[in-house]
């Protein structure tokens, strides 16, 4: 990738001079072309930076960051760096690794150019921007531009409404864009050719019972019955899913659909393509944070008040307001406030983007909305040891991998519920495990995982290990070779029909073909199942069970759908299905 833009001139500075000599401009850089590099999400981000004495005149980036996410972040940061001739740049939401890599690579290049990088990291004071309060009128107003908010925006517009969406982060996408992208739905067209028997009733039972029967049966029914129609709706908007399904971690059954585009970019790009085509009737305001819902004297929600960097923004909605702000997985204080199930979560990292702080729940509660099941916080056993992110996870599907502890022993049914697996992991030494797979998961070194990372790149980065024998792999990761071999042999026997010692039932291939791979994983906070109580039509109800007129909610901000445990692959089903319903319902309000 090469990007070359004209940069704004840097402010002139002078140095002391004697007599009547003309003041001379102090150089910021030594003119020339310099290179810097740093590790990004998918490998090295390499920048070739050309400068004159006071300006960055060109930045050429060479990288393999995620299409539609990391590459967009780098493009935006190139433009910003050249506009400001500075290292005081804002990180791009949802693309933290790519943003950090860009800044580190740019700093390396500018150090070589002789710059005082500490000065370049300081934001210029300049003149304070003039703030101006504004008011906007629309029909449907949406708080949050993640998957739920954007699906609601498209659906509302398709049902005849003008729409305004606000987003507190600099970019749209929320948790959806950085997700593993699995979407559960009963889909005979894809399942039958794979010999998979499924039904709406089976999906309902697994979802309801998988949440310890704490989910609202009506909401679960809406979820499972509308899952596939929502896939068809997404496809009608141009989104593409792969032709086969798989079993994502904790899904309990092979009905997880995988988009063609990596991570959650397919969902967000699909919605944004539609929104950009109808930008005269759908407006998105980023870096605009909702502060309070506006309620009329008769109890109807008529809009909200938000803050942007330019002042107060009041949005009036004649039909309805949809809260789609996501959960509170990134809010440590809020997690600790409501957690009654897990050990202390203070030091547990999260898969969530930093904007997942529960704002919508707090706003709704202030107007007497019912908030339910806040203690139901989901952890995964699949966090990156350094970041808590799901990136670097080498599993491709539940059927073809095992977990072993630091002794090389299996300790749980790897096809179980997410809470069962995480509790079992927390009982192991250092709450750490290794995921073990073989060539069946990675036929070639450039085969990518569910986060678009090739196995070769993960091995090169030291985030995965590769060996031609299980004994050699065991030595690399520091577990007992004897135990690892026995664990794999017992698993392989169960694939052949022997009774699995942990009761596992989901199998496909044996782990018997070199090369063998291992990846380290730890617990991480992933999803908050509690939140705003809604009806099957996504209307918000108050503490007395009465519908609050004009107020809707969708996505992870809601509670009572998944119960005590969310099945893997059900989040994106929830986000897109209930977002679609909320948009249509709000658009039909009088």
Catalytic site positions:
418
> DSSP secondary-structure letter at 18?
-
Contacts for 540-549: CB closer than 8 Å, 24+ residues apart: 540/323, 540/364, 540/369, 540/370, 541/369, 541/370, 542/368, 542/369, 542/370, 543/368, 543/369, 543/370, 545/370, 548/299, 548/300, 548/301, 548/367, 548/368, 548/369, 549/298, 549/299, 549/300, 549/301
**Stretch (H or E) spanning 201:** helix 200-210
Q: What is the dihedral of CA 476, 390, 65, 396, to 10 degrees?
A: 70
- Residue 45, CB half-sphere, CA atoms under 13 Å: how many? 30
Beta strand 282-285 with 163-166: parallel, antiparallel or unpaired? Answer: parallel
Quick check: 183 and 197 in contact, CB under 8 A? no
- Please tell me the total number of residues recorded for the chain in this structure: 590
3-state secondary structure 466-494: EECCHHHHHHHHCCCHHHHHHHHHHHHHH
CA dist 461 and 459 (Å) reads 5
CA dist 165 and 145 (Å) reads 7
Q: Which residues contact 196 (CB under 8 A, 6 or more apart)?
A: 245, 254, 255
CA dist 505 and 297 (Å) reads 57
Cα dist from 20 to 13, 23, 27, 84, whole Å: 17, 9, 21, 32
CA dist 184 and 254 (Å) reads 8
Structure tokens at 498: 């022997």
> 99, 87, 15, 75: which is closest to 51 by C-alpha?
87
Quick check: 550 and 300 in contact, CB under 8 A? yes
């Amino acid at each position: 990738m090469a990007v070359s833009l004209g940069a704004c001139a840097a402010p002139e500075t002078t140095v002391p001079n004697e007599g009547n000599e003309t003041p001379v401009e102090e150089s910021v850089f030594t003119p020339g072309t310099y290179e810097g590099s740093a590790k990004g999400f998918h490998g090295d981000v390499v920048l070739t930076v050309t400068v004159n004495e006071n300006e960055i005149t060109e930045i050429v980036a060479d990288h393999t960051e995620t299409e539609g996410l990391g590459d967009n972040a780098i493009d935006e940061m190139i433009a910003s760096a050249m506009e400001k001739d500075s290292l005081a740049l804002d990180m791009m939401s949802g693309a933290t690794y790519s943003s950090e890599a860009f800044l580190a690579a740019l700093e390396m290049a500018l150090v070589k150019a002789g710059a005082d990088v500490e000065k370049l990291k300081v934001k210029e004071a300049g003149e304070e921007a003039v703030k101006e309060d504004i008011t906007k009128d629309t029909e449907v107003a949406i708080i949050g531009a993640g998957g739920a908010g954007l699906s609601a925006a498209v659906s509302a517009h398709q049902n005849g409404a003008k729409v305004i969406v606000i987003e507190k982060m600099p970019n749209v996408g929320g948790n959806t864009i950085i997700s593993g992208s699995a979407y559960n739905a009963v889909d005979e067209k894809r399942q039958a050719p794979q010999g998979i028997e499924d039904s709406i009733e089976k999906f309902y039972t697994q979802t309801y019972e998988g949440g310890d029967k704490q989910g609202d049966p009506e909401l679960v029914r809406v979820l499972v019955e509308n899952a596939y129609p929502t896939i068809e709706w997404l496809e009608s908007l141009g989104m593409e899913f792969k032709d086969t399904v798989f079993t994502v971690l904790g899904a309990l059954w092979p009905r997880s659909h995988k988009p063609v585009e990596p991570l959650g970019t397919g969902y967000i790009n699909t919605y944004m393509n539609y929104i950009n085509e109808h930008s005269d009737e759908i407006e998105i305001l980023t870096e605009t944070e909702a502060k309070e819902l506006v309620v009329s004297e008769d109890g109807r929600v008529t809009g909200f008040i938000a803050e942007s960097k330019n002042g107060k923004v009041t949005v009036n909605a004649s039909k309805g307001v949809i809260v789609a702000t996501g959960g509170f997985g990134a809010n440590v204080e809020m997690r600790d406030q409501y957690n009654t199930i897990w050990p202390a979560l203070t030091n547990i990292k999260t898969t969530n983007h930093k904007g997942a702080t529960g704002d919508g729940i707090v706003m709704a509660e202030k107007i007497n909305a019912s908030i339910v099941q806040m203690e139901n916080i989901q952890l995964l056993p699949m966090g990156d040891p350094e970041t808590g992110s799901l990136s670097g996870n080498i599993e491709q599907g539940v059927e073809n991998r095992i977990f072993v502890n630091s002794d090389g022993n299996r300790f749980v049914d790897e096809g179980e519920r997410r809470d069962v697996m995480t509790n079992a992991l927390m009982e192991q030494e250092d709450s750490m495990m290794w995921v073990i797979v073989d060539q069946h998961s990675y036929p070639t070194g450039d085969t990518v995982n569910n986060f678009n990372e090739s196995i070769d790149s993960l091995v090169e980065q030291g985030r995965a290990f590769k060996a031609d024998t299980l004994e050699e792999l065991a030595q690399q990761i520091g577990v007992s070779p004897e135990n690892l071999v026995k664990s794999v042999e017992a698993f392989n026997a169960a694939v052949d029909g022997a009774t699995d010692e942990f009761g596992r039932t989901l199998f496909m291939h044996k782990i018997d073909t070199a090369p063998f791979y291992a990846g380290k994983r730890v617990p991480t906070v992933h999803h908050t199942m509690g939140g705003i109580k809604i009806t099957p039509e996504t209307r918000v109800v108050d503490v007395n069970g009465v519908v609050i007129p004009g107020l809707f909610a969708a996505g992870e901000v809601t509670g009572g759908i998944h119960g005590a445990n969310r099945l893997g692959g059900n989040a994106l089903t929830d986000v897109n299905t209930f977002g679609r319903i909320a948009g249509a319902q709000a658009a039909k309000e009088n």
